[in-house]
Amino acid sequence: MERKKNKQQKLHIRKGDLVKVLSGDSKGQQGKVLEVIPEKSTAIVEKVNIITKHTRPNAQNTNGGIVKQEAPVRISKLMVVDPATGKPGRVGRRLEDGKLVRYIKVKK
């Protein structure tokens, strides 16, 4: 009997969320999620984990040169920030009016 492959995991981070970095070089920084990559469990966060990339001249960039851009961050190192209190918290889901709604559990 063959085992079924697991469905794609539910992530606690979505595009547009305000998140705080928990560990690494960018620890403590906050930013908006620009893109989520579920296959690699990573997210690209605005103004966090900036790298310098050397580019060759091409049709779009005729000069080439050095470009600064955001690199992906592991989702396990990110925590969603509650917009009401401004504190990071865990994400929960509950049923409200027949719809599944996300809410943030902030430690008191």
What residue spans define the domains of the chain? 18-82
Per-residue pLDDT for 108 more than 90? no
Q: pLDDT tens across 69-79, in order?
A: 999 999 999 99
What pLDDT shows up at residue 66? 94
**Whether the Cβ atoms of residue 67 and residue 58 lie closer than 8 Å to each other:** no
| Backbone φ/ψ region at 12: left (φ over 0), alpha (ψ -120 to 50), beta | alpha
What is the per-residue pLDDT across 19-64, written as a single tens digit (0 to 9) for each? 999 999 999 999 999 999 999 999 999 999 999 999 999 998 899 9
Looking at 3.40.50.2300, 2.30.30.30, 3.30.300.160, 3.40.50.970, the CATH number of the domain 18-82 comes to 2.30.30.30
pLDDT given for residue 22 in this prediction: 97
pTM (2 decimals)?
0.84
